[in-house]
Amino acid sequence: MSRIIDRGLEEQSVLIVRMGELTYETLALSIHGYLEGKSVQEQVRELSDMLLSMADKVEDQTFQLIARFQPVATDLRTIKSYMKIGNDFARYGRYALDISFINDQLHGLKECETWTRDYIDEMSEKVLSMVKISIDALKKQDIILAKTISETERSVDKMYFDYLHKLIKGEQANSKCVLSSALMTRYLERIADHAVYICESIVYIVTGEKVNLG
């Protein structure tokens, strides 16, 4: 037998999944723009603003559901987790906008050597795969899939710190490239962290267990 709160929970779930789909679109556009040296800042800004608006709506729904229905513990766990995931998705949008900004200001990888472009391309693929895992796990409420994110996250972390070490050793001499690539790898590392946070929230929604997947 369905409860009155179930419709509200379903609406929140649909909105969160739509945010996830838009998030991937926004990040892919921004990252590929950076890798290809193509300006996409205006398109990314529009999508990022949409994500912020949707995150606000998720937050409003959260307070309405709590105020109107006094949810039981399992419902409250889901409601609060969706609000947290919505904020994580909004952060994705912010990072996408930052990436498109440094692409326009510092000309992306145009000033970089081939090995740097190849390195960031590989790191970007790993990060986008993590984002996709987090979104697919959310859609399916799949905790097994969510937990697979840990291995890739460790690989991304290693790539980030290895790249910083290369910069410290002076393996990249062009100042614009150093600044652009250092910022880009940092944003990618942070996006990967948020993908992990989302997967941790999914495990919490389904099982009530607080896990550390990082």
Residue 183: count of CB within 10 angstroms of its CB: 16
| d(C-alpha 162, C-alpha 171), whole Å | 12
In the chain, where the domains are located = 4-207
Q: Residue 208: helix, strand or coil by DSSP?
A: coil
**pLDDT tens track for 115-126:** 999 999 999 999
Residue 88 pLDDT > 60, yes or no? yes
Instruction: For residue range 152-167, list pLDDT tens digits in order.
Output: 999 999 999 999 999 9
What tens digit of pLDDT does each residue of 6-19 get? 888 899 999 999 99
Q: What is the pTM of this model?
A: 0.92
Report the CATH fold assignment for 4-207: Methane Monooxygenase Hydroxylase; Chain G, domain 1 (1.20.58)
The confidence score (pLDDT) of residue 1 equals 55
With a pLDDT cut of 90, the percent of the chain lying above it is 78
Residue 172 has pLDDT above 90, yes or no: no
pLDDT at 133: 97
DSSP code of residue 111: T
Considering only CA atoms, which of 38, 44, 42, 41 is closest in space to residue 25?
A: 44
Q: Which one, of 16, 77, 17, 13, lies nearest residue 210 by Cα?
A: 77
Give the helix ranges, DSSP H, for the chain: 4-36, 41-69, 73-106, 114-140, 143-147, 149-168, 175-207
CB 44 within 8 A of CB 20: no
Q: How confident is the model at residue 39 (pLDDT cuts 50, 70, 90)?
A: very high
